[in-house]
Amino acid sequence: MTRLRAFSDRLDRAVVVVCAGVVLAMLGISLLGIFYQFVLGDPLSWTYSLARLLLPWLAMLSLTVAFKRGEHVAMAMLARRMPAPLRGMVGIVNLCVIGLFGLALLWYGAGFFVNSTQLFMVSDFLQVSHRWVVAAVPVAGLVLCIHLLSGTALLAERDGGADS
């Protein structure tokens, strides 16, 4: 279990790095579009479309980062107001629902990935496979399941018990 938890921690750090890279790539693409539009007066038609294709990766992977850290502001506020026994029970139900969600992302996302055959036409010369964008769904499901499997201490952490 310790190795799985260590793997989950390393995976989380890698996902954070990937998310930061995606944000930087989106920013760089957008700044390139702004530069060409306002400085050179010759807009690039593909910058917005390309940056937008990175958004599913950012959204899906950041979901796993938030889960790993137990971050959801509204839920945390609600949980703090609950009595301790109810908080533990709701935490277990929450982890079960998240587990089902992660499995659904993995299962249905893998099917969606396999059956995706279309191309996004970003520009006349740039085409991106729909599979690349859709791959974010099963990857996020897998990461979420790994975090969940390694996170037996998540309930204790949220209740203020175990180490992080």
pLDDT at residue 60, as a whole number: 94
pLDDT at residue 162, as a whole number: 41
Model confidence at 107: pLDDT above 90: yes
Least confident of 54-68, 84-98, 148-162: 148-162
**In this predicted model, what pLDDT tens digit does every residue of 1-55 receive, in sequence order?**
688 888 999 999 999 999 999 999 999 999 999 998 888 888 888 888 889 999 9
Q: Which of 68, 61, 56 is nearest to 18 (CA)?
A: 61
pTM (two decimals): 0.79
Structure tokens given for 50: 């390309």
Residue 135 binned pLDDT confidence (cut-offs 50, 70, 90) = very high
Please state the rounded mean pLDDT for residues 108-129.
Answer: 88
Please state the rounded mean pLDDT for residues 150-160.
Answer: 54
Question: Cα–Cα distance between 21 and 18 in angstroms, integer?
Answer: 5
Residue 153 binned pLDDT confidence (cut-offs 50, 70, 90) = very low
What percent of the chain stands above pLDDT 70?
88
Model confidence at 123: pLDDT above 50: yes
Residue 62 binned pLDDT confidence (cut-offs 50, 70, 90) = very high
Question: Cα–Cα distance between 33 and 92 in angstroms, integer?
Answer: 47
Helix/strand/coil for 127: strand
Question: Cα–Cα distance between 137 and 126 in angstroms, integer?
Answer: 23
